[in-house]
Amino acid sequence: MSKSGSCEPTPGIWSPAQNEPRNIIVKFTNCCLLRNHNIIKDDLWIQAGKIIDPEKLFFRERKLPDKVIDCGGALISPGFIDVQLNGGFGVDFSFDIDTIGEALEKVAQGILAHGVTSFCPTLVSSRKEVYDKALPFLGKKPGGPLGAEVLGAHVEGPFISPGKKGAHDSNVLQKLDNGIQSIIDVYQHVDAIAIITLAPELENAVSVCKELTQRGIIVSVGHSMASIVQGEEAVKNGASFITHLFNAMLPFHHRDPGLVGLLASDQIPQGRTIYYGLIADGIHTHSSTTRIAYRAYPKGIVLVTDACSALGLTDGIHQLGEMAIEVKGMQATIMGTNTLAGSVADMISCITYFWKTTDCTLVEALEAATLHPALLMGIENKKGTLEFETDADFTMLEPNSLDVISTWIAGQCVFQNSQFLPKADLNLK
C-alpha cells in the first residue's frame, strides 16, 4: 500500500491557506477519538492550532464551526512521538553530518506517513566532531508541512559500557572521569539535547545523572553492565528512562535482574514512573519477552522504532554512524556479524505488533506511542493526548488495520494517504 503523499496537492482535503485566518473553527465529525484512556465516538474541534472545547465555544461565544470535515469513520489518535530514531530513507544522523540539515528534513518529512508528529533525532556513539556538526541542527524545531516537530536530540552514548556497546564503535566510547564536565566537553551543544543514554555503572555516573536532571535533560540508562543496585542509584538521582529494554544490557538473572529489574524494584522513589523503550518489531524482543514487559509494568512502556537509515528502503547495505549495516527483511545487523544495528520498523508497525502480540487494548497500544512518551518528555500538557488546549497534532487511522489515513500538525494536514480518498469522505461541508 502506498504511504506516500501530502495534503498539498490532494483535492478534498482541507488545510489552512496562507491567507486564511488562523482562528477559524474546524469541526471533525463522523469519527472516534482516543481521549481520557478510552476510544469514544465524538467530534474533534480545533482553532488556531489547538484542540478546543466546543461547549465553551458555543455557550460563551455562541459560535458554530466555520468548516466541517467528515472523517468517514476514522479513528483519531494523538500524533505519535518517537524518542529514538537514528535516521531513515537513506540518511543517518550520525553519518550524514555534512548535510545534516537536509537529512533531518528528509526524515522529518518521511515519518509523517507513519503518523509521527514529533521525534528525537538520535546520534549513536560518535567522534566529537560529529556532535560539533550535528547537534546545532538537532535542537527543538516546530513541526509543519516540512516535517514532524523536533523535540531535541537523543544522544545514545558515547558514555556507555564497552561490554554492551552493541552496534556502537568501541573506539569512540568515553568515560565520565570529569563528571558533568566530561559531558560538556564531548557534546558542547548541550542545549540541543533532550535525552542522554549512559551506563550508570561508570564512575561519576550517579552525580552526572543528578546534574543533567537539574538541567532539564532526561537521563536514560542503557548499553550497560549495571546491576540492579546501580540502576536504582541512577533512578534515585534522576534517571527516568531505560533505553531499548532487554537489548544491550545484562540479561535477567534471578539473583541480580540488572536494569530489567527496575520494572519491579521497590527502591523507586514514591510517585515516580520508570519509562522504558521497547522496539516492538518482532526482532529485538521475542513475543514472550514483549508480553512479560507489558504484564510487569504496562504504565512505563514507550514504543520506539530505533530505526536506522534503511527505514523505508529495500534490503541491502546501509549506514549506522560510521558502520556499514546489512538489511535483510526486518533485520538490520552490522555487516558480517549477527549484531543487531537498529531497526527498519516504522511506528505504526510497532504499535500494531505490540497490540496483537500482547493482547493489550488498542488504547494501551496507542498510548504507548503517544501519552507515555509525552509524560517521559514532560510535554503532556501540549502533546500525547486530545485534551482541550493541547496542540492539534493527531493522526487519522483506519480503525481495523490501523493504516494511517492522514497526519495533522497544529491543525494542518501534512500527510494524506491517497489510497483512502475513495473510502473516507474528507470533503468540506
Residue 428 pLDDT class (50, 70, 90 cuts): very low
Full set of structural domains in the chain with CATH: 25-78+385-420 (2.30.40.10), 82-377 (3.20.20.140)
Looking at per-residue confidence, does 313 or 232 come out higher?
A: 232
Q: Which pLDDT does position 61 carry in this prediction?
A: 66
Give the pLDDT confidence of 250-293 residue by residue, as tens digits: 999 999 999 999 999 999 999 999 999 999 999 999 999 999 99
Judged against a pLDDT cut of 70, whether residue 380 lies above it is answered with: yes
* Mean pLDDT over each residue of the chain, to the nearest integer: 91
Give the pLDDT confidence of 66-117 residue by residue, as tens digits: 999 999 999 999 999 999 999 999 999 999 999 999 999 999 999 999 999 9
Which residue, 146, 79, 65, 47, is CA-closest to 406?
79
Judged against a pLDDT cut of 80, whether residue 9 lies above it is answered with: no
Q: Which residues pair with 124 in a beta bridge?
A: 156
Give the pLDDT confidence of 193-217 residue by residue, as tens digits: 999 999 999 999 999 999 999 999 9
Which residue, 353, 346, 383, 351, is CA-closest to 365?
351
Q: Picking from 255-269, 335-349, 379-393, 405-419, which range would have the lowest pLDDT averaged per residue?
A: 335-349
Give the pLDDT confidence of 134-166 residue by residue, as tens digits: 999 999 999 999 999 999 999 999 999 999 999
**Distance from C-alpha of 112 to C-alpha of 238, rounded to nearest angstrom:** 32
Q: Which pLDDT does position 20 carry in this prediction?
A: 54
Judged against a pLDDT cut of 80, whether residue 391 lies above it is answered with: yes
Q: Which pLDDT does position 8 carry in this prediction?
A: 37
Q: Picking from 45-59, 163-177, 219-233, which range would have the lowest pLDDT averaged per residue?
A: 45-59
66 is catalytic: no
Q: Which pLDDT does position 422 carry in this prediction?
A: 44
Looking at per-residue confidence, does 55 or 158 come out higher?
A: 158
Q: Picking from 4-13, 99-108, 305-314, which range would have the lowest pLDDT averaged per residue?
A: 4-13
Q: Name the residue type at position 198.
A: L
| 356-392 per-residue burial string, b: 16 or more CB within 10 A, e: under 16 | ebbebebbbbbbbbbbbbbbbbebbebbbbbeeebbb
Q: Which pLDDT does position 60 carry in this prediction?
A: 67
Q: Element (H or E) spanning 221, and its range?
A: strand 218-221
Judged against a pLDDT cut of 50, whether residue 3 lies above it is answered with: no
Mean pLDDT to the nearest integer, 326-343:
83
Grid cell in block for residue 152: 531535541
Among residues 82, 96, 281, 306, the one annotated as catalytic is 306
DSSP state of 384: S
Q: Picking from 114-118, 237-241, 336-340, which range would have the lowest pLDDT averaged per residue?
A: 336-340
Q: Which pLDDT does position 318 carry in this prediction?
A: 81
